[in-house]
Protein backbone atom coordinates (compact mmCIF):
# COMPACT_ATOMS: atom_id res chain seq x y z
CA UNK A 1 0.00 0.00 0.00
CA UNK A 2 1.35 3.44 -0.94
CA UNK A 3 1.97 6.26 1.55
CA UNK A 4 0.44 4.70 4.63
CA UNK A 5 0.73 5.74 8.24
CA UNK A 6 3.59 4.56 10.39
CA UNK A 7 0.94 2.98 12.63
CA UNK A 8 0.84 -0.79 12.42
CA UNK A 9 -2.68 -0.94 13.81
CA UNK A 10 -5.49 -1.99 11.44
CA UNK A 11 -8.45 0.09 10.32
CA UNK A 12 -12.04 -1.03 10.69
CA UNK A 13 -13.51 -0.05 7.33
CA UNK A 14 -17.18 0.14 6.31
CA UNK A 15 -18.75 0.24 2.85
CA UNK A 16 -22.29 1.58 3.26
CA UNK A 17 -24.28 1.07 0.07
CA UNK A 18 -27.92 1.17 -0.81
CA UNK A 19 -28.15 -2.62 -0.77
CA UNK A 20 -25.49 -3.92 1.61
CA UNK A 21 -23.22 -2.92 4.47
CA UNK A 22 -19.76 -4.47 4.27
CA UNK A 23 -17.52 -4.16 7.32
CA UNK A 24 -13.90 -5.35 7.41
CA UNK A 25 -10.69 -5.21 9.42
CA UNK A 26 -7.91 -4.04 7.08
CA UNK A 27 -4.19 -4.20 7.89
CA UNK A 28 -1.84 -1.38 6.92
CA UNK A 29 -0.60 -3.66 4.12
CA UNK A 30 -4.08 -3.82 2.62
CA UNK A 31 -4.96 -7.32 3.84
CA UNK A 32 -8.56 -8.17 4.78
CA UNK A 33 -8.26 -9.79 8.21
CA UNK A 34 -11.99 -10.27 8.89
CA UNK A 35 -15.21 -9.36 7.13
CA UNK A 36 -18.90 -8.97 7.98
CA UNK A 37 -21.78 -8.41 5.55
CA UNK A 38 -25.42 -7.54 6.13
CA UNK A 39 -28.29 -5.97 4.20
CA UNK A 40 -28.73 -2.21 4.44
CA UNK A 41 -32.56 -2.26 4.41
CA UNK A 42 -32.31 1.40 3.43
CA UNK A 43 -36.07 1.89 3.15
CA UNK A 44 -36.36 1.50 6.92
CA UNK A 45 -34.72 4.91 7.39
CA UNK A 46 -31.49 6.40 8.75
CA UNK A 47 -31.90 5.40 12.39
CA UNK A 48 -32.38 1.72 11.58
CA UNK A 49 -29.50 1.71 9.09
CA UNK A 50 -27.16 3.41 11.58
CA UNK A 51 -28.08 0.85 14.24
CA UNK A 52 -27.26 -1.90 11.73
CA UNK A 53 -23.86 -0.27 11.10
CA UNK A 54 -23.12 -0.14 14.83
CA UNK A 55 -24.24 -3.74 15.29
CA UNK A 56 -22.03 -4.82 12.37
CA UNK A 57 -19.05 -3.09 13.97
CA UNK A 58 -19.76 -4.81 17.28
CA UNK A 59 -20.04 -8.22 15.62
CA UNK A 60 -16.80 -7.77 13.71
CA UNK A 61 -14.88 -6.66 16.81
CA UNK A 62 -16.25 -9.65 18.71
CA UNK A 63 -15.54 -12.04 15.85
CA UNK A 64 -11.92 -10.89 15.64
CA UNK A 65 -11.55 -10.62 19.42
CA UNK A 66 -10.41 -7.03 18.91
CA UNK A 67 -10.81 -4.16 21.35
CA UNK A 68 -10.85 -0.50 20.35
CA UNK A 69 -7.30 0.14 21.56
CA UNK A 70 -6.15 -2.26 18.84
CA UNK A 71 -7.63 -0.13 16.06
CA UNK A 72 -6.01 2.77 14.25
CA UNK A 73 -9.42 4.20 13.33
CA UNK A 74 -12.83 3.51 11.81
CA UNK A 75 -13.29 4.67 8.22
CA UNK A 76 -16.66 4.76 6.46
CA UNK A 77 -17.34 4.90 2.74
CA UNK A 78 -20.99 5.95 2.35
CA UNK A 79 -23.21 6.13 -0.73
CA UNK A 80 -24.07 9.79 -1.11
CA UNK A 81 -22.75 13.32 -1.06
CA UNK A 82 -20.31 13.86 1.81
CA UNK A 83 -19.42 17.04 3.70
CA UNK A 84 -15.88 16.07 4.71
CA UNK A 85 -15.30 18.97 7.10
CA UNK A 86 -18.45 18.37 9.14
CA UNK A 87 -18.61 14.60 8.75
CA UNK A 88 -22.10 14.63 7.24
CA UNK A 89 -23.88 12.49 4.68
CA UNK A 90 -25.67 15.46 3.14
CA UNK A 91 -27.90 13.49 0.76
CA UNK A 92 -28.12 10.10 -0.91
CA UNK A 93 -30.43 8.86 -3.69
CA UNK A 94 -30.04 5.30 -2.39
CA UNK A 95 -30.40 5.97 1.33
CA UNK A 96 -33.91 7.41 1.76
CA UNK A 97 -34.21 10.09 4.42
CA UNK A 98 -30.49 10.77 4.68
CA UNK A 99 -30.20 14.56 4.81
CA UNK A 100 -27.30 16.09 6.75
CA UNK A 101 -26.86 12.95 8.85
CA UNK A 102 -23.82 13.43 11.19
CA UNK A 103 -22.63 9.86 10.68
CA UNK A 104 -19.02 10.55 11.70
CA UNK A 105 -20.00 12.02 15.07
CA UNK A 106 -22.62 9.34 15.77
CA UNK A 107 -20.04 6.58 15.32
CA UNK A 108 -17.38 8.54 17.22
CA UNK A 109 -19.70 9.05 20.19
CA UNK A 110 -19.98 5.30 20.68
CA UNK A 111 -16.45 4.12 19.90
CA UNK A 112 -14.24 7.09 20.85
CA UNK A 113 -11.65 6.46 18.13
CA UNK A 114 -10.71 8.51 15.06
CA UNK A 115 -13.54 8.33 12.51
CA UNK A 116 -13.17 9.14 8.82
CA UNK A 117 -15.99 9.57 6.31
CA UNK A 118 -15.67 9.41 2.52
CA UNK A 119 -17.96 8.87 -0.45
CA UNK A 120 -18.34 5.16 -1.27
CA UNK A 121 -17.25 5.46 -4.92
CA UNK A 122 -14.32 7.70 -3.99
CA UNK A 123 -13.25 4.98 -1.57
CA UNK A 124 -13.50 2.36 -4.33
CA UNK A 125 -11.35 4.58 -6.58
CA UNK A 126 -8.68 4.79 -3.87
CA UNK A 127 -8.85 1.05 -3.36
CA UNK A 128 -8.38 0.22 -7.03
CA UNK A 129 -5.70 2.90 -7.40
CA UNK A 130 -3.58 1.61 -4.53
CA UNK A 131 -4.32 -2.11 -4.57
CA UNK A 132 -6.15 -3.06 -7.76
CA UNK A 133 -6.41 -2.35 -11.47
CA UNK A 134 -5.15 1.23 -11.15
CA UNK A 135 -1.81 0.59 -9.47
CA UNK A 136 0.86 2.78 -11.05
CA UNK A 137 -1.73 4.91 -12.92
CA UNK A 138 -1.66 8.58 -11.96
CA UNK A 139 -4.82 9.74 -13.75
CA UNK A 140 -7.90 7.56 -13.67
CA UNK A 141 -11.66 7.53 -13.22
CA UNK A 142 -13.62 4.78 -11.50
CA UNK A 143 -17.32 4.15 -12.03
CA UNK A 144 -19.27 1.89 -9.70
CA UNK A 145 -22.11 0.55 -11.83
CA UNK A 146 -24.56 -1.33 -9.65
CA UNK A 147 -27.87 -0.41 -8.05
CA UNK A 148 -26.87 3.16 -8.90
CA UNK A 149 -23.77 4.72 -10.46
CA UNK A 150 -21.07 6.49 -8.48
CA UNK A 151 -17.68 7.81 -9.50
CA UNK A 152 -14.24 8.63 -8.19
CA UNK A 153 -11.49 10.67 -9.84
CA UNK A 154 -7.74 10.35 -9.30
CA UNK A 155 -5.67 13.25 -10.69
CA UNK A 156 -1.87 13.24 -10.46
CA UNK A 157 -2.08 10.31 -8.05
CA UNK A 158 -4.48 11.99 -5.62
CA UNK A 159 -8.22 11.77 -5.08
CA UNK A 160 -10.02 14.81 -6.50
CA UNK A 161 -12.93 15.72 -4.21
CA UNK A 162 -13.96 19.14 -5.51
CA UNK A 163 -14.66 22.29 -3.52
CA UNK A 164 -17.45 20.75 -1.43
CA UNK A 165 -16.42 17.09 -1.47
CA UNK A 166 -18.94 15.95 -4.05
CA UNK A 167 -16.83 15.63 -7.23
CA UNK A 168 -17.13 12.46 -9.24
CA UNK A 169 -20.93 12.16 -9.44
CA UNK A 170 -20.63 10.88 -12.99
CA UNK A 171 -23.79 8.83 -12.57
CA UNK A 172 -25.76 12.06 -12.46
CA UNK A 173 -24.47 13.68 -15.63
CA UNK A 174 -27.36 14.26 -18.01
CA UNK A 175 -27.27 11.91 -21.00
CA UNK A 176 -30.83 12.36 -22.30
CA UNK A 177 -32.76 15.47 -21.26
CA UNK A 178 -36.01 13.63 -22.09
CA UNK A 179 -34.93 10.42 -20.41
CA UNK A 180 -36.41 8.56 -17.43
CA UNK A 181 -36.52 10.08 -13.96
CA UNK A 182 -33.55 9.26 -11.76
CA UNK A 183 -33.65 8.58 -8.02
CA UNK A 184 -31.85 11.91 -7.57
CA UNK A 185 -35.00 13.67 -8.83
CA UNK A 186 -33.62 14.77 -12.21
CA UNK A 187 -34.28 13.18 -15.60
CA UNK A 188 -32.00 11.43 -18.07
CA UNK A 189 -29.07 10.78 -15.75
CA UNK A 190 -26.51 8.14 -16.71
CA UNK A 191 -27.67 6.19 -13.63
CA UNK A 192 -31.29 6.15 -14.84
CA UNK A 193 -30.17 4.64 -18.15
CA UNK A 194 -27.30 2.28 -17.30
CA UNK A 195 -27.48 1.07 -13.68
CA UNK A 196 -28.51 -2.44 -12.77
CA UNK A 197 -31.83 -1.01 -11.66
CA UNK A 198 -32.31 0.65 -15.07
CA UNK A 199 -31.44 -2.53 -16.97
CA UNK A 200 -33.95 -4.56 -14.95
CA UNK A 201 -36.67 -1.91 -15.43
CA UNK A 202 -36.12 -1.85 -19.20
CA UNK A 203 -36.36 -5.64 -19.49
CA UNK A 204 -39.51 -5.73 -17.35
CA UNK A 205 -41.14 -2.94 -19.37
CA UNK A 206 -40.51 -4.68 -22.70
CA UNK A 207 -41.84 -8.03 -21.49
CA UNK A 208 -44.97 -6.38 -20.09
CA UNK A 209 -45.47 -4.76 -23.49
CA UNK A 210 -45.75 -8.26 -24.95
CA UNK A 211 -42.21 -9.11 -26.09
CA UNK A 212 -41.01 -12.66 -25.58
CA UNK A 213 -37.94 -13.55 -23.55
CA UNK A 214 -36.42 -16.50 -21.72
CA UNK A 215 -36.34 -14.19 -18.71
CA UNK A 216 -39.99 -15.07 -18.10
CA UNK A 217 -38.99 -18.70 -17.54
CA UNK A 218 -35.88 -17.79 -15.54
CA UNK A 219 -38.01 -15.93 -12.97
CA UNK A 220 -40.83 -18.50 -13.21
CA UNK A 221 -43.29 -15.95 -14.51
CA UNK A 222 -42.63 -13.43 -11.71
CA UNK A 223 -41.51 -10.68 -14.05
CA UNK A 224 -41.20 -8.11 -11.27
CA UNK A 225 -38.33 -10.21 -9.85
CA UNK A 226 -36.07 -9.72 -12.89
CA UNK A 227 -32.63 -8.33 -12.00
CA UNK A 228 -29.71 -7.16 -14.10
CA UNK A 229 -27.88 -10.37 -13.21
CA UNK A 230 -30.67 -12.42 -14.76
CA UNK A 231 -30.70 -10.19 -17.84
CA UNK A 232 -26.98 -10.93 -18.20
CA UNK A 233 -27.55 -14.68 -17.85
CA UNK A 234 -30.30 -14.56 -20.47
CA UNK A 235 -28.14 -12.55 -22.86
CA UNK A 236 -25.26 -15.00 -22.51
CA UNK A 237 -27.76 -17.74 -23.37
CA UNK A 238 -28.65 -16.02 -26.62
CA UNK A 239 -31.84 -14.20 -25.57
CA UNK A 240 -32.34 -11.36 -28.05
CA UNK A 241 -34.39 -9.09 -25.76
CA UNK A 242 -31.81 -9.34 -22.97
CA UNK A 243 -28.97 -8.72 -25.45
CA UNK A 244 -30.72 -5.63 -26.81
CA UNK A 245 -31.33 -4.26 -23.31
CA UNK A 246 -27.66 -4.64 -22.38
CA UNK A 247 -26.50 -3.16 -25.70
CA UNK A 248 -28.72 -0.11 -25.11
CA UNK A 249 -27.27 0.35 -21.61
CA UNK A 250 -23.73 -0.18 -22.90
CA UNK A 251 -24.27 2.47 -25.57
CA UNK A 252 -25.43 5.01 -23.01
CA UNK A 253 -22.49 4.02 -20.79
CA UNK A 254 -20.16 4.69 -23.72
CA UNK A 255 -21.66 8.16 -24.18
CA UNK A 256 -21.06 8.94 -20.50
CA UNK A 257 -17.51 7.60 -20.67
CA UNK A 258 -16.79 9.60 -23.84
CA UNK A 259 -17.85 12.76 -22.00
CA UNK A 260 -15.54 11.87 -19.10
CA UNK A 261 -12.68 11.11 -21.49
CA UNK A 262 -13.08 14.47 -23.22
CA UNK A 263 -13.17 16.35 -19.92
CA UNK A 264 -10.44 14.55 -17.96
CA UNK A 265 -8.24 12.81 -20.58
CA UNK A 266 -7.54 9.92 -18.15
CA UNK A 267 -5.13 7.07 -18.73
CA UNK A 268 -7.63 4.55 -17.39
CA UNK A 269 -11.33 4.16 -16.62
CA UNK A 270 -12.16 1.35 -14.20
CA UNK A 271 -15.67 -0.14 -14.15
CA UNK A 272 -16.67 -1.75 -10.87
CA UNK A 273 -19.92 -2.86 -9.24
CA UNK A 274 -22.40 -5.59 -10.08
CA UNK A 275 -22.82 -4.58 -13.74
CA UNK A 276 -19.05 -4.93 -14.26
CA UNK A 277 -19.50 -8.69 -13.84
CA UNK A 278 -21.02 -8.66 -17.35
CA UNK A 279 -17.47 -8.11 -18.62
CA UNK A 280 -17.05 -7.55 -22.34
CA UNK A 281 -20.78 -7.98 -22.92
CA UNK A 282 -21.12 -4.50 -21.41
CA UNK A 283 -17.64 -3.05 -21.91
CA UNK A 284 -16.92 -3.82 -25.57
CA UNK A 285 -19.90 -1.82 -26.93
CA UNK A 286 -19.06 0.99 -24.48
CA UNK A 287 -15.45 1.01 -25.66
CA UNK A 288 -16.63 1.26 -29.26
CA UNK A 289 -18.82 4.28 -28.46
CA UNK A 290 -15.86 5.99 -26.74
CA UNK A 291 -13.74 5.32 -29.83
CA UNK A 292 -16.44 6.87 -32.03
CA UNK A 293 -17.43 9.85 -29.85
CA UNK A 294 -14.43 11.00 -27.81
CA UNK A 295 -11.62 13.11 -29.23
CA UNK A 296 -9.30 10.76 -31.06
CA UNK A 297 -6.15 11.54 -29.09
CA UNK A 298 -7.91 11.11 -25.76
CA UNK A 299 -9.76 7.96 -26.89
CA UNK A 300 -6.48 6.38 -27.96
CA UNK A 301 -4.86 7.17 -24.62
CA UNK A 302 -7.50 5.64 -22.33
CA UNK A 303 -7.90 2.01 -21.26
CA UNK A 304 -11.36 0.93 -20.09
CA UNK A 305 -10.96 -2.04 -17.77
CA UNK A 306 -12.94 -4.01 -15.18
CA UNK A 307 -12.10 -3.57 -11.51
CA UNK A 308 -9.92 -6.16 -9.78
CA UNK A 309 -10.95 -5.90 -6.14
CA UNK A 310 -14.60 -6.92 -6.49
CA UNK A 311 -16.81 -6.16 -3.52
CA UNK A 312 -13.79 -5.35 -1.34
CA UNK A 313 -12.84 -2.18 -3.25
CA UNK A 314 -14.89 0.11 -1.00
CA UNK A 315 -13.60 -1.17 2.35
CA UNK A 316 -10.02 -1.33 1.09
CA UNK A 317 -10.28 2.22 -0.23
CA UNK A 318 -11.85 3.49 2.99
CA UNK A 319 -8.87 1.98 4.83
CA UNK A 320 -6.43 3.61 2.40
CA UNK A 321 -8.15 6.94 3.05
CA UNK A 322 -7.68 6.54 6.81
CA UNK A 323 -4.06 5.47 6.49
CA UNK A 324 -3.34 8.48 4.27
CA UNK A 325 -4.50 11.06 6.82
CA UNK A 326 -1.24 11.25 8.76
CA UNK A 327 0.75 11.42 5.53
CA UNK A 328 -1.49 14.19 4.16
Range 136-307 classified under CATH 3.40.50.150: no
Query: Could you check whether 11-127+311-327 and 136-307 share the same CATH topology?
Result: yes
Average pLDDT score over the chain? 94
What is the DSSP-derived secondary structure letter of residue 232? H
Q: Are the C-beta atoms of residues 285 and 250 closer than 8 Å to each other?
A: yes
| pLDDT-based confidence at residue 1 (cuts at 50, 70, 90) | low
Across the range 251-256, mean pLDDT stands at: 98
pLDDT of 64: 84
Q: Where are the domains of the chain?
A: 11-127+311-327, 136-307
Secondary structure (DSSP) of 70-86: G-SEEEEEESSEEETTT
pLDDT of 165: 76
What is the share, in percent, of the chain residues with pLDDT greater than 90?
87
CA distance 29 to 10: 9
What predicted TM-score, i.e. pTM, was given to this entire model? Answer: 0.92
The per-type count for the chain, helices as H runs and strands as E runs, is 11, 12
Which architecture, in CATH terms, is 11-127+311-327? 2-Layer Sandwich (3.30)
**Backbone angles phi and psi of 118, in degrees to 5:** -145, 155
Amino acid sequence: MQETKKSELPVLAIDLGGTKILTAIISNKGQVKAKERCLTLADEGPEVVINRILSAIDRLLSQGNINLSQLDSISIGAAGAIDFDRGLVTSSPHLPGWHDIPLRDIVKEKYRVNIFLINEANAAALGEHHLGAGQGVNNLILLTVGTGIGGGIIINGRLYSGVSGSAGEIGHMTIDVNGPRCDCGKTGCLEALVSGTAVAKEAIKRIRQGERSSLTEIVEGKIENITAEEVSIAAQGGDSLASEVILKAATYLGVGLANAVNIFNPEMIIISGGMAKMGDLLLNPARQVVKERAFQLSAQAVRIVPAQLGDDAGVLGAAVFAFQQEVD
